[in-house]
Amino acid sequence: MAIFPCSFRTHRYRGKAAHAYPALIRPSGREDRRHSRLCAAHMAELEELAGPYLAADAAGEVEPSPRATLCMGCSRFVDEVFTQFFMTTFPGGDERRDYWGILHPACRAPAWLEGLLGVSPSARPGDGVGHLPQEST
Ligand SMILES: [Zn+2]
Ligand SMILES: [Zn+2]
């Protein structure tokens, strides 16, 4: 049986991987996306952390938590320009869950999400806003 590295807390485990596809899409157009393979225990932890942002499960759309309409970083109201968080998970194989959230472009994502995306914790707030990757000429 294969031994997988878990994307959430970086340890190795045996058994079936659960899959998560998190993404942050910034107003600048910059996108951070990952395919994360998690052990069952850490998928359960992730589902709990992302719980307020659950938008649809196998049964269809779910009633959004009031928190889902506020910034994931600072919990304040977000006006028209925002960074979007999308995540699809397959916690137990086939059953799919979709998550959605918003952030102020200058706000940091929660630590669990930055960790999952591999976004540098030392990145300054606002990194990526209005800075598309430069093409060398
Ligand atoms: Zn794990
Ligand atoms: Zn904010």
Higher pLDDT, 10 or 41: 41
> What is the pTM for the complete model shown?
0.81
Q: What is the whole-number distance in angstroms between the Cα of residue 6 and the centre of ligand 2?
A: 29
Report DSSP letters for the chain, one per residue. --EEE-TTT--EEESPPEEEEEEEE-TTS-EEE--EEE-HHHHHHHHHHTGGGEEEETTEE-PPPGGGGBBTTT-SB--S--EEEEEEEETTSS--EEEEEEE-TTSPPPHHHHHHHT--TTPPTTTTTT-PPPPP-
d(CA 74, ligand 2 centre) in Å = 4
Ligand number with the minimum distance to the CA of 104: 2
What's the pLDDT score for residue 8?
84
Model pLDDT for residues 60-116, shown as the tens digit of each residue: 999 888 888 999 999 999 988 999 999 999 988 778 999 999 999 999 999 999 989
pLDDT digits (tens, 9 = 90+) for 21-60: 999 999 999 999 999 999 999 999 999 999 999 999 988 9
Ligand in closest contact with the CA of 126: 2
Dist. CA 85 → ligand 2 center (Å): 13
Cα of 64 vs centre of ligand 1, distance in Å, is: 27
